[in-house]
Structure 1
Amino acid sequence: MALVTSVRDYINRMLQDISGMKVLILDSETVSNVSIVYSQSELLQKEVFLVEMIDSISASNESMSHLKAVYFVRPTSENVQKLRHQLANPRFGEYHLFFSNLLKDTQIHILADSDEQEVVQQVQSLSLSLSLSLSLSLSLSLSLLILVLSPFLTERREKRRSRSSVVMEIAAMTVMGTCLQLAFSLRISCVLCSFELRDTFVFQKLMYQHESGLFDFRRTESSPLLLVIDRRDDPVTPLLNQWTYQAMVHELIGLQDNKVDLRAIGSLPKDQQVEVVLSSEQDAFFKSNMYENFGDIGMNIKRMVDDFQQVAKSNQNIQTVEDMARFVDNYPEYKKMQGNVSKHVTLVTEMSKLVEARKLMLVSQTEQDLACNGGQGAAYEAVTDLLNNESVSDIDRLRLVMLYALRYEKENPVQLMQLFNKLASRSPKYKQGLVQFLLKQAGVEKRTGDLFGNRDLLNIARNMARGLKGVENVYTQHQPLLFQTMESITRGRLRDVDYPFVGDHFQQGRPQEVVIFMVGGTTYEESRCVALQNSTNSGIRFILGGTAVLNSKRFLMDLEEAQRISRSGSHMV
């Protein structure tokens, strides 16, 4: 089933069983899930007249006893403490508490003790821990867990809980909650990972063994596969400029929880500086074009504009009362069409300006050569020329040097150092040592798999054949490492040395269903890759999730944060 449909059904059930006027109270994570599956008008139809964050509820003393409070939050200790204080001095007539994952017994006791006025009507755990931004349709039953490699930050210090362990705990809760959401049959039987990740998943294993009845779902002859992999295996994909619609919007403007904030674009007229929704669930044009390349998008938008002009022209020709009545009946759909046309024209126009201003077609061609083709000498000259180009932005210069370093870190250390020095002189905002830190974290010695297709004879032959055939679009020739991983799973050739089975169970043959979870975040390019793989009807269905949805800006910010933590940690030793 579709994950979006699953979450929508959960929330629909949650709201429709509570009659009367309601206030929906969310936290920073659940607000994302709700905004993806429900529009504001749809919430109004469910008698939700107010949506608040749990933090703002804590800061207010205004009584609203005529409203029923529907809480949908994570079962974190912080949220439970906030609820404890709010129940001690209730503002609403009734409280209905829904949590996005399993609630511990101790937390239930805390809530029960706080409800002295008996305003709580129900407490439920819904297990909605998966971010829906990259969800794809799939029905799964899970019985085998394989964990591979370590999180992006792996250092663990005594008497101090590191940021990475917190991230891993969230990731573990996400994966486990997803198992419940999609009715997985979960029996953890094999684990291979870093110390922190192992501890986290062992804790989850014990917790879910205690709640084993929750996972008593259907069994299948072929055990589906959950593969948890590390972002460091493929640091190239989040560094590349994108040329398909959804990924390009996220890269150049930003796409958060299916929303694009146009208010930061100063060149737009005031009436266009708004936040717009870009959702395949609510926008038919976007659904059919989200994976199309930029050139095709321009032509498709032109056709959409032409269609709208025909509709607008017919609406202007109102001569009778019947014509007017027909226009009034069709007005909501007309306004929706008008809004869609305006939205997509604005997005494509703004991205076209950015492409021209930053010379991204020139930059991207070199990026794709670095990611897909050989030739260290020519690559060095191309990167050097772009570093000297005044139109190339600082972030594009940085990404070019990073891509070159990842590809040729062992080839010519002298030329690599020359690029480091030139980057530092041309980009004053460049953080010293950031490229070197990337190599330390995700260089060839740290990666699993054949990222550039130059180690394995099969991959070398595949790349040669691909080069002889040519590619449809030089700007979209790159394929994420995830493509090779899915291809290996489909052919039953997933290497045990890269993804080893550990434990009592060993499955012969290939699974029918696979969920891939990326610790460190995944990208819209990889989401597109999964969608295309599922469309081939190979007999295996894939679903992709991760700890975040990355563009190059977010990836570099995470890298800088990791570098900062690493430096502060080294000073503590």
Structure 2
Amino acid sequence: MVLISAVRDYIQRMLHDISGMKVLILDSETVKIVSVVYSQSELLQKEVFLVETVETNSKESMSHLKAVYFLRPTSENVQHLRRQLALPRFGEYHLFFSNIMKDTQLHILADADEQEVVRQVQEFYADFVAIDPYHFTLNYQFNHIYMLPTVVDPPSSQIFCDRVVDAISAVFLALKRRPVIRYQRTSDVAKRIAQEAARLMYEKENGLFDFRRSEISPLLLVVDRRDDPVTPLLNQWTYQAMVHELIGIEDNKVDLKHLGKIPKDQQEVVLSSEQDAFFKANMYENFGDLGMNIKKMVDEFQLIAKSNQNIQTIEDMAKFVDNYPEYRKKHGNVSKHVTMVTELSRIVEGKKLMLVSQTEQDLACNGGQVAAFEAVLKFLNDESISDIDRLRLVMLYALRYEKESPVQLMQLCNKLASRSAKYKSGLVQFLLKQAGVDKRTGDLYGNRDLLNIARNMARGIKGVENVYTQHQPLLFQTMESITRGRLRDVDYPFVGSHFQQGRPHEVVIFVVGGTTYEEARSVALYNATNSGTRFILGGSAILNSNRFLKDLEEAQKIMKSNANVL
């Protein structure tokens, strides 16, 4: 509950201490921060009768309302506020900012408040989107920037790094901790973010981060998505990850409008472990078990519905009316999950994903270059396989066998280009330049370290529970290395002179370039079974294969046009 609780607590304090009717005013980012942890009905209970964005230029006077602003402390937001305070529409103004404010910004607001309507200005450190209890994101729109060398686009690169540092610092301020900081040695962007975060926490805002020291400091580890490009390329087979891969989730919302004839209230649904008990119990279940659990839920609901049909007395009717909101809620929930799973099944069947996924898992987890080449070639020749699935298979082959079979890899790339005009642009080669074996720090395929080789052999001998979910993200190995005190200093150096004494009890791993729901699942399961260390996962975006490929294409386009200019 840690991240969601922290953000909810800030919002409760914001709204609870201000009595009477309120308007909540947000910016485009704090809208997301609030919406994933707080429902509209909860806002109503706190007497919030109107929600606006700070860009709204309404002149309508509402002096009977108290304005509660929750904004990121950006120069744009401060300018919006300055103009609104000059001509106040509301009776009182309560200003809350999601991160550290500059003195100059406070002076601007003080000068603008000529009518003395501002009652308070506070910093509430909720500058991140708390998707799940141990998973946060920035949902950064221009996520591809992490792949570009700083010299290609210095302003965008700086804005990206600043935003990441803001989010990381807010997480530690919300948790009331100051960490020691490590980063992935092979990543310039991870190093830069780690150094800027250290400068903020240990120099610029040293006093703010001077919390009571624990015996062992928490750890912030900054890593690069390109160290594990395999995880975001795989099809997923557990509920939350699968919905994101095949339909898409944004800020815990799923858009189902494209399905056509479904009720209006089901066209955009919320998938939140906080607001939906069935989803919380099944978000990490594989597709087969999920189907059984959906059937069980439907059967239970039918029993409730049947008992409600037997209304014979006034007392029965009164009882039904009392329980009706709960009945409707249950009906909506059953309908939502049945719709979702039906759509997932349709996509899986239509795209032959069970066949595709078996080969993907073999490429990610098992050796055998000759068999892998033949399997990928077969899919390239299969008309019923989508272009994007063909591309992903070739990429997975390339990442695994780039050094072992360059000739066969070239054959597959040529075949791919002949089948799909869209991918003639050398995206496979660009991926290898970004995330090939020479660029990676971690032991992605578990074949460098003796311990990993032994583990992989044991897994092969025992067999796995489910062929579709045998892959483990590199993040899992990283967590194990941290808890066992085996994370190598040479690969993950410390920033400055702040070293770790003993194994940390709290760790935040930030993935520059984005996280996946498969990794979030690994973190949640690891936390549930290992009491010694608690992990929190954060990233600049939440990836599925479409988003990862889109980021690659965007970065490739910019690099190409840059090369042409030079």
Q: What secondary structure sits across from 2:535 in the alignment?
A: strand
Per-residue CA shift, 1:280-332, capped at 9, x if unaligned? 10110100100000000000010000000000011111111110111011111
**Equivalent residue for 1:110?**
108
Matched, 1:339 2:332: yes
Q: Which amino acid aligns with 2:237?
A: W
Structure 2 unaligned regions, length at least 5: 137-143
In the alignment, which residue of structure 2 is the partner of 1:144?
A: none
Distance 2:245 2:493 in 1: 34
The equivalent of 1:13 in structure 2 is 13
- Aligned residue runs from structure 1 range 396-415, under 5 A: 396-415=389-408
The corresponding residue for 1:453 is 446
Alpha-carbon distance in structure 2 between the residues aligned to 1:439 and 1:448: 14
**Structure 1 counterpart of 2:37:** 37
Greater mean alpha carbon deviation, residues 458-467 or residues 491-500: 491-500
Percent identity between matched residues is 72
How far residue 218 of structure 1 moved from its aligned partner, in angstroms, is 2.6
Contact 2:178 2:217 in 1 (8 A): no
CA distance in 1 between partners of 2:123 and 2:18 (Å): 16
Deviation, 1:388, is 1.6
- Per the alignment, residue 251 of structure 1 pairs with 245
For 1:12, give the aligned amino acid: Q
Do the aligned partners of residues 187 and 114 (structure 1) sit closer, same or farther apart at CA in structure 2, a change above 3 Å counting? farther
User: How much has 1:510 moved relative to structure 2?
Assistant: 1.6
What is the CA–CA distance in structure 2 between the aligned matches of 1:187 and 1:480, rounded to whole Å? 24
Letter in 1 for 2:131: S
**Please, which moves more after superposition, 190-199 or 214-223?**
190-199
- The verdict on how the C-alpha distance between 1:152 and 1:185 changes in structure 2, with shifts beyond 3 A counting, is closer
| Matching residue of 2:215 | 221
Structure 1 residues 197, 284: CA separation in 2 closer, same or farther (over 3 Å shift)? closer
How far has the Cα of 1:203 moved from its partner? Answer: 5.0
The CA distance in 2 between the partners of 1:410 and 1:157, in whole Å, is 29
Deviates more, 1:40-49 or 1:118-127: 118-127
Given residue 450 of structure 1, which amino acid in structure 2 is its aligned partner?
D
- 469-478 or 215-224, larger mean C-alpha shift: 215-224
Q: State which of 148, 156, 161 in structure 1 corresponds to 2:150.
A: 156
Post-superposition offset of 1:529:
0.5
Q: Which amino acid aligns with 2:69?
A: Y
How far off its partner does 1:9 sit? 0.9
Query: Structure 2 CA distance, aligned partners of 1:287 and 1:276?
Result: 15
Task: Check the 8 A contact 1:368/1:477 in 2, yes or no.
Answer: yes
Pick closer, same or farther for the CA change 1:162–1:404 going to 2, 3 Å.
Answer: farther
CA RMSD, Structure 1 to Structure 2 (Å)? 2.2
* Whole-Å separation in 2 of the counterparts to 1:475 and 1:188: 35
Query: Any conservation in 2 of the 1:230–1:518 contact (CA below 8 Å)?
Result: yes
Alignment match, 2:231: 237
Equivalent residue number for residue 520 of structure 1: 513
Greater Cα offset, 286-295 or 487-496:
487-496
**Alignment partner, residue 540 of structure 1:** 533
After TM superposition, the structure 1 = structure 2 runs for residues 136-535 of structure 1, keeping only pairs within 5 Å, are 136=134, 152-157=146-151, 161-186=154-179, 202=195, 204-208=197-201, 209-266=203-260, 268-269=261-262, 271=264, 274-430=267-423, 432-535=425-528
CA distance in 2, matches of 1:545, 1:103: 23
Judging changes above 3 Å, is the alpha-carbon distance between structure 1 residues 223 and 186 closer, same or farther for their aligned structure 2 residues?
A: closer
Partner residue in 2 for 1:78 = 76
Q: Relative to 1, partners in 2 of residues 1:163 and 1:193: Cα closer, same or farther, differing over 3 Å? A: farther
In structure 2, what residue type is equivalent to 1:262? L
Q: Structure 1 residue 559: deviation in Å? A: 1.1
Q: 1:525 to 1:511 in 2, by over 3 A?
A: same
Please say if residues 507 and 535 of structure 2, whose CA atoms lie closer than 8 Å, have aligned partners that are also in contact.
yes
1:310 is paired with a residue of what secondary structure? helix
Alpha-carbon deviation of 1:182? 0.8
1:87 aligned onto 2:85: yes
Q: Given residue 385 of structure 1, which amino acid in structure 2 is its aligned partner?
A: K
Aligned counterparts of 1:418 and 1:199: Cα–Cα separation in 2:
38
Residue correspondences, number:
558
Letter in 1 for 2:293: N
Could you tell me how far apart the structure 2 residues matched to 1:317 and 1:79 are?
57
Alpha-carbon distance between aligned partners in 1 of 2:187 and 2:234, rounded to the nearest angstrom: 28
Checking the alignment, whether the CA contact within 8 Å between 1:10 and 1:126 is kept in structure 2 is yes
Amino acid at match of 1:100: S
The answer to whether the 8 A contact 1:20-1:68 is kept is yes
Kindly indicate whether the alpha-carbon contact (under 8 Å) linking 1:97 and 1:123 is maintained by their aligned counterparts in 2.
yes
Give the drift of 1:391. 1.7
Matches of 2:499 and 2:532, distance apart in 1: 21
Mean CA deviation greater in 193-202 or 388-397 = 193-202
Deviation digits for residues 99-158 of structure 1 (CA, Å, limit 9, x no counterpart): 1100101111111122222222211111112321143299xxxxxxxxxxx983242238
2:193 & 2:362 partners in 1: Cα distance?
A: 40
Letter in 1 for 2:364: A
Instruction: Give the TM-score normalised by the residue count of structure 2.
Output: 0.94
Cα deviation for residue 54 of structure 1 reads 1.9
TM superposition shift of 1:457: 2.2
State the Cα distance separating 1:175 from its structure 2 match: 0.6
The one-letter code matched in structure 1 to 2:121 is V
User: What are the superposed Cα offsets for residues 67-87 of structure 1, whole Å, 9 maximum, x if unpaired?
Assistant: 222111111112112222222
Asked if 1 retains the 8 angstrom alpha-carbon contact of 2:233 and 2:544, the reply is yes
Gaps of at least 5 residues in structure 1 are 139-149
Residue in structure 1 matched with residue 140 of structure 2 by the alignment: none
Residues 440-463 of structure 1: per-residue CA shift (max 9 Å, x gap)? 011111111110112222211211
CA contact (8 A) 1:73 1:100 kept: yes
| Structure 1 residues 203 and 450, CA gap change in structure 2 (3 angstroms) | closer
